[in-house]
Amino acid sequence: MDSRDQAQVGVRRTVIRTIAVLIGMFAFAFALVPLYDVFCRITGINGKVDATAQSIVHEEVDDTRVINVQFITRGSPGLPWRMSVETHQMSVHPGQMAEVDFTFTNNSHSENWGRAVPSVSPSNATPHLRKISCFCFQEQHLQGRERLTIPLVFQLARDLPADINTVTLVYTLYPVAHEIQNASLDSLLNNRAKNDFKNDSNNDANKNQAAGETI
């Protein structure tokens, strides 16, 4: 094998390795959400909040305390979305119900599925945060260039520890794979059904033609 052949083999190996790494990174991005859920459920760290709606507790608002609530949004390399919030911080009283709008924007021309995974800081504030309505409870689906605004309705409990004056809610976007796979499967089944119908129609036409020639 001459030097030119060796160089070609080396380039081919490099390309194959690069493609394999990219595929692995893409698959890992889709696996982050379930891995994150399992890790936080086992360890109970990082201020992981419940993924189900909670009921409003009708309790007297504590006007003597003011809590600064901050909102931070983060994107994901595997999802071409932008997530923004109406206001980055607001002041609330424990026991008060508050609402803030979040906007999801799909910057691509194709439809995507994603999910905003929340966390709370400090972590000991997590049990005292009640989410009455939140987009984080389910996956979001956006068509190409679509924009969607969804409110977050929450309440801080009156028993929030006295040393907590600021609560930070962080929402990180992650791509969701299984919906895309289901969509691809539906498309495949629809195409297969169309092809089967076309083949059956062609077979019927050929049979009729053959019968006509026999007669």
Reported as a single tens digit per residue, the pLDDT across 150-191 is: 999 999 999 999 999 999 999 999 999 854 444 444 554 455
Cis, bond preceding 127 (omega within 30 deg of 0): no
Locate tokens 């119908």: which residue? Answer: 197
State both tokens at 14: 């490099």
Residues 6+ apart with CB under 8 A from 164: 67, 122, 124, 125
- Pairwise pLDDT comparison (90 vs 9), residue with the higher score: 90
pTM equals 0.62
